[in-house]
């Protein structure tokens, strides 16, 4: 049931064949990630079911280190959960979930997953957690001060890649309410086709998008608490509204309002853990 990529040189390709059939494009993403030292097979723990030497069902576990309410926790994200089409409704999904849950309950503080079909996991004790975006009320003068130096980095540049991985691994949590540390693989995979910027004044990375004049800040990756105005002043494009897609408690001086977030997939957490955060956002760049 549980497998090991390190013990089987063909396992990665076999798993990717199934995963790509169920989630088209995932193999291309994983293969591209390997170019930038984001190795699926070094990060994920696979649970598989074979029939006549063919992998027909898969569930992966990705370990994460969290800071939640100021305390450290180890958790596992369930991902890549799928069964080959002709073998569905035969109990393989239940078998994988049962084995993976037994493993996570022994090894981790909790497990979680992202899905657009939450009813599939409720029977296993998972519950949906509400997430929030945070609207920051800023003054227009914050866009007219002295500009911080900013440049877009390239993962194809070895120096930039080392810089990104170093900052990601050594980062402080974006939030003491709910933050992630020492993570590089999922972040790298999620920024393969997303602009990522280095701001000299904070010696850190900024990931954002501007859509319809709204600035969406997805992550700020630094090794020390930074001045949020330096971040805003670095952005050269104009915007009229700022939305933070992470819990903003590290910027307590900022005025903000919580609004219901609508990510593509909802976050579900195992029944044995209460994060005790009344309003939070799972960081965008570590969704898997």
pLDDT band at 276 (very low <50, low <70, confident <90, very high): confident
Q: Residue 279 pLDDT more than 90?
A: no
Q: What integer best gives the mean pLDDT of the chain?
A: 93
Where do the domains of the chain lie?
A: 5-129+266-276, 133-260
Task: Enumerate the H helices of 44-157 as residue ranges.
Answer: 92-107, 119-122
pLDDT score for 237: 86
Hey, what CATH class is 133-260 in? alpha beta
Answer yes or no: same fold for 5-129+266-276 and 133-260.
yes
Residue with tokens 């979680």: 112
Long-range contacts, stretch 16-20, CB < 8 angstroms, 24+ apart: 17/55, 18/55, 18/56, 18/57, 18/58, 18/82, 18/84, 19/58, 19/80, 19/82
Domain 5-129+266-276 sits in CATH 3.40.50.150: no
What does the pLDDT read at residue 252? 57
Quick one: pLDDT at residue 256? 85
Over the stretch 52-87, which tens digit does the pLDDT of each residue have?
889 999 999 999 999 999 999 999 999 999 999 999
Q: What is the SS3 assignment for 122?
A: helix
Which tokens in the block code for residue 197? 């910027």
């Amino acid at each position: 049931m549980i497998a090991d990529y390190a013990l089987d040189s063909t396992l990665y390709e076999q798993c990717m064949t199934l995963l790509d059939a169920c989630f088209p494009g995932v193999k291309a993403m994983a293969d591209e990630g390997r170019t930038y030292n984001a190795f699926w097979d070094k990060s994920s723990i696979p649970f598989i079911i074979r029939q006549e030497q063919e992998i027909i069902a898969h569930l992966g576990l990705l370990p994460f280190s969290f800071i939640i309410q100021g305390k450290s926790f180890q958790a596992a994200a369930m991902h890549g959960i799928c069964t080959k089409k002709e073998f569905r409704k035969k109990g393989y999904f239940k078998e994988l979930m049962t084995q993976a849950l037994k493993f996570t309950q022994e090894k981790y503080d909790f497990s979680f997953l992202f899905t657009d079909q939450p009813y599939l996991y409720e029977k296993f004790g998972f519950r949906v957690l509400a997430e929030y975006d945070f609207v920051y009320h800023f003054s227009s003068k914050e866009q007219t001060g002295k500009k911080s130096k900013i440049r877009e980095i390239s993962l194809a540049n070895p120096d930039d890649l080392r810089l990104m991985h170093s900052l990601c691994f050594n980062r402080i949590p974006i939030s003491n309410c709910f933050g992630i540390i020492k993570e590089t693989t999922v972040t790298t995979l999620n920024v393969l086709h997303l602009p990522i910027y280095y701001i000299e004044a904070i010696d850190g990375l900024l990931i954002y998008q501007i859509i319809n004049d709204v600035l969406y800040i997805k992550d700020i990756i630094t090794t020390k608490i930074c001045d949020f105005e330096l971040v805003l002043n670095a952005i050269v494009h104009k915007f009229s509204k700022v939305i933070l897609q992470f819990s903003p408690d590290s910027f307590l001086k900022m005025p903000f309002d919580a609004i219901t977030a609508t990510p593509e997939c909802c976050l579900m957490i195992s029944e044995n853990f209460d994060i005790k955060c009344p309003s939070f956002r799972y960081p965008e760049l570590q969704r898997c």
